[in-house]
Amino acid sequence: MRHGAAAIYSRETTRVDLTDVQIMQAVQAGQVELFDLLVCRYRGPLLNVAWSKLGDRNWAEDVVQETFLAAFAARDTYNPAFAFRTWVWTILLNLCRRQWKRRESRPGEQSLAAPAQRGDGPAVEPATYDTPLSQALLIERRAQVHVLLNSLPEVQADALRLRFFGGLQFSEIALAMDSSVSAAKQRVKSGLITLAEQLRQTGGELS
């Protein structure tokens, strides 16, 4: 299989036409430079999710970089039977949790649980725009979004992040979070209901 994968890019197939699985098979076969294609494809969505979870762009960029490094280091363990995107999302979520716990265990470091409400810099961009959450995200600053999502149970918040910042389907959310599809749908639904109620109580504004 890997011999065939090594010839993927030697044919008249442009880089943009390669699927994630084809790229990973080629990377496993030695064409490691193609991994940059996956970085270009997923860096933005991964950063949006990490940023909304951690509340700090620099910290999120570090975690995203660590995610790609971890995925590359574990490239030989990747199973082409599964989607690369769910695999890399699982890595990101695990690293975010690990980094958060590490930061909390170091009281001397500045806490990012309540980032400054300065409002400078771009807002986090949602991947979809057809829900009450998406409409709220269009008007709320990134720090406020961070606070709002962090008020939810972690499984609901992460499901919402993957759905709206990462653009994942429910089946992909289920795989990334090691849950059933019905559980993924329920987490998103419950999270949206809670957020809608919070926005209703505050008139669409967060203090």
Largest CA distance in the chain: 60
Domain 1-113 - what CATH class?
mainly alpha
The single-letter DSSP state of residue 179 is: -
136 vs 1, more confident: 136
- For residue 99, the 8-state DSSP code is H
pLDDT value, residue 37: 96
Give the pLDDT score at 8. 52
Q: Which of 8-12, 21-25, 148-152 has the lowest mean pLDDT?
A: 8-12
Q: What is the pLDDT of residue 114?
A: 41
26: left (phi over 0), alpha (psi -120 to 50) or beta: alpha
Global confidence as pTM? 0.73
The string of pLDDT tens digits covering residues 121-166 is 444 555 554 555 655 554 455 667 778 888 999 999 999 999 988 8
The CATH class of the 116-207 domain is mainly alpha
Is residue 5 within 8 Å of 76, Cβ to Cβ?
A: no
* Cα of 105 vs its chain's centroid, Å: 24
- For the chain, residues classed under CATH 1.10.10.10 are 116-207
Which residues fall within 8 angstroms of residue 51, CB to CB, at 6 or more apart?
Answer: 57, 60, 124, 142
Which residues of the chain are in CATH 1.10.1740.10 domains?
A: 1-113
| Distance of alpha carbon 39 from alpha carbon 72, whole angstroms | 10
